[in-house]
């Protein structure tokens, strides 16, 4: 019998999120983010944009807020050309 790995913390990145922790991902961030959010005791989500409650389309929400304890908004740094 193999026991599952239980993480204490999960640091995940999402495109959008609301203050309840509902998350929408972009591209390959959707691969392991939702799984780690469910497997960890505490999930901290880094989002590019925090939107108002109800602004996210329910069909696009991948991770429900019940799995996310903290949401941190981080603005992308401008790229010098």
Burial 16-48 (b: 16+ CB within 10 A, else e): bbbeebbbbbeeebbeebbebbeebeebebebe
Dump pLDDT digits (tens) for 31-51.
999 999 999 999 999 999 999
Dump pLDDT digits (tens) for 17-35.
999 999 999 999 899 999 9
Determine the pLDDT at residue 43: 97
**Long-range Cβ pairs for the range 1-6 (8 Å, 24+):** 4/39, 5/39, 6/39, 6/40, 6/41
State the pTM of this model: 0.83
pLDDT above 90 covers a percentage of the chain that reads: 77
């Amino acid at each position: 019998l193999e026991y599952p790995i239980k993480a204490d913390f999960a640091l995940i990145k999402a495109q959008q999120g609301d203050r309840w922790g509902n998350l929408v991902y972009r591209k390959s961030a959707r691969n392991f983010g939702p799984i780690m959010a469910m497997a960890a005791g505490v999930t901290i989500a880094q989002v590019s944009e925090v939107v108002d409650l109800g602004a996210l389309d329910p069909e696009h929400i991948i991770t429900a807020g019940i799995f996310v304890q903290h949401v941190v908004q981080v603005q992308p740094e401008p790229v010098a050309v």
